[in-house]
Amino acid sequence: MVDDPFVFGQIAVANSLSDIYVTGAKPLLALNLISFPKKGLPRELLKKILEGGLSKIKEAGALLVGGHSVDDPEPKYGLAVIGIIHPEKIITSKNAQPGDLLYLTKPLGTGILATAYKGRLFDEKSPLYKRMVETMIELNKIPAEIMVEAGIKSATDITGFGLIGHALEMANASKVKMVFFFHKIPYFKEALEFAKKGIIPEGDYDNLNYCEKLVKFDPYLKDYQRVILADAQTSGGFLISCPKEKREILETLAFERGFYSLYLVGEVKEGEPSVEVLP
């Protein structure tokens, strides 16, 4: 995703912890899982990756209890994580109900931005690089906490299949229709501009080709806008299905925690499991 090994480690851990946070759980224990070549790359690079990861593990309040490594020419890093939550408070993707409001907690477009960065269309000195990195290294800790406190029962994290891909997963699991309003969806404006120019990851095309058969897009939406909705995210935010009677509680909790990235982007309706995107 990035050249800086410390930041690479931070992104990898934030991404790994999201699988625990999206259930509403608190991460307890973590194991490092890393692939790294015995020869060809300096050990200092490996050290920086692990230091970056450890900084985020500590921020999460979890303990690093060991790890496993594999000799591999291509560096890879992630975590195996164990967390804890009361069985009656577990959040899943299958409990969205008609009438719920849909919230998103991070802007879309980091997949496109990472592709543009790797193409040297901007560098580490750019304010855009800083914003891209800050989004990906941000833990989903606060959204997890406020979801549990508000009594949320349904959510999913937005990762490799993009917003519409994971929304389809949620709609199918809950047997509901999900409606999004494009003008309410947060995204990096620069990512939209890159998409207009064809700077698009291959995975986004795969996501879009699959989802176009199952998602109803308003004809008003341009191709590059559809791509943003299918953009594969690394360490993305949450899609939260919130009952209307809990809206004030959720928004108040977010405000009290200083979490201002809670975007109302759509609603859940009765109907065949599907996703619709309006302008």
Name the CA radius of gyration of the chain, rounded.
Answer: 19
| Per-residue pLDDT band at 219 (split at 50, 70, 90) | very high
DSSP-assigned beta bridge partners for residue 177: 269, 274
**pLDDT of res. 1:** 80
- SS3 call for 276: strand
Give me the phi and psi of 198, to 5 degrees please.
85, 15
In the chain, CATH 3.30.1330.10 covers 5-88
178 touches 167 (CB < 8 A): yes
3-state helix, strand, coil in the chain (%, to 5): 45, 25, 35
The verdict on pTM exceeding 0.75 is yes
Instruction: Identify the three-state secondary structure at position 206.
Output: helix
Q: How far apart are alpha carbons 24 and 20 in whole angstroms?
A: 7
Percent of the chain with pLDDT over 70: 100
Q: In the prediction, which pLDDT does 213 show?
A: 83
Write out the CATH class of domain 91-278.
alpha beta
Tell which CATH classification among 3.30.300.10, 3.40.1190.10, 3.40.50.720, 3.30.1330.10 matches the domain 5-88: 3.30.1330.10
For the cut 90, the answer to whether the pLDDT of residue 11 exceeds it is yes
Q: What percent of the chain has pLDDT over 90?
A: 98
Tens-digit pLDDT profile for residues 151-204: 999 999 999 999 999 999 999 999 999 999 999 999 999 999 999 999 999 999
Report CA dihedral (158, 172, 22, 1) to the nearest 10 degrees. Answer: -20
Q: What does the pLDDT look like over 103-130, one tens digit per residue?
A: 999 999 999 999 999 999 999 999 999 9
Start-end of CATH 3.90.650.10 domains in the chain: 91-278
Other CB atoms closer than 10 Å to residue 90's CB: what's the count?
Answer: 13
- Mean pLDDT of the 60-80 span: 96
Amino acid found at 135: T
Q: Kind of pairing, strands 101-104 and 263-269?
A: antiparallel
Backbone phi and psi for residue 258, each to the nearest 5 degrees, phi listed first: 70, 25
The H-assigned helical ranges of 35-177 are 43-60, 110-118, 127-137, 141-150, 162-174
Report the DSSP beta bridge partners of residue 34: 69, 77
Q: Closest Cα partner for 27 from 39, 15, 43, 45?
A: 15
